[in-house]
Amino acid sequence: MKMRVRLTFPQNLIKEPVIFTMAKEFNVMPNIRRARVTETVGEMVLELEGEDSRLQEGINFLKAKGIEVELIEGDVIE
């Protein structure tokens, strides 16, 4: 399964290798397409590929860390 997501990192996580940790721990392959890091916030647009349940666990891991995870098509309802 593949998912396109936008991650927003809080300031305290910018220096932590959370994507690498998630990739390794849940066997999820990240493919980074766009990223922007400022002094106060980090934004990353990427594709994640992995087994359905492991991918979901990986996303839950990111959320638990305090990263905001949004689908690229995040505002469909309007």
Partner 1 sequence: MGHVKGLKCRECGREYPVDPIYVCEFCFGPLEVGYDYKSIAKAITRKKIEQRPQTLWRYRELLPIDGDPLVGLASGFTPLVKADNLAREIGIDELFIKDDTVVHPTLSFKDRVVAVALTKAKEFDFDTVACASTGNLAHSVSAHGARAGFKRFIFIPASLEASKIVASLVYEPNLIAVDGNYDEVNRLCSEVANKYRWAFVNINIRPFYAEGSKTIGFEIVEQMGWKAPDHIVVPCASGSLLTKVWKALKEFKQIGILKELDTKIFGAQATGCGPIATAVKAGTDVIRPVKPNTIAKSLAIGNPADGFYASQVIKETGGYAEDVSDQEIIDAIKLLARTEGIFAETAGGVTLASAIKLIKAGRITREGTTVICITGNGLKTQEALQGHTMMPHHIKPSLASFEGVLGKISRGD
Contact in structure between 17 and 44 (CB atoms under 8 Å) = no
Taking the least distance from each CB to partner 1, the nearer of 24 and 35 is 35
Find the binding residues for partner 1 in span 3-62 (CB under 8 A): 4, 8, 33-34, 36, 38, 40-41, 43, 45, 47
Taking the least distance from each CB to partner 1, the nearer of 57 and 68 is 68
- 18-40: burial string, b at 16+ Cβ within 10 Å, e else: bbeebbeebebebeeeeeeeeee
Look at residue 52 and give its three-state secondary structure.
Answer: helix
Which residues form the interface with partner 1 (CB under 8 A)?
A: 4, 8, 33-34, 36, 38, 40-41, 43, 45, 47, 68, 70-78
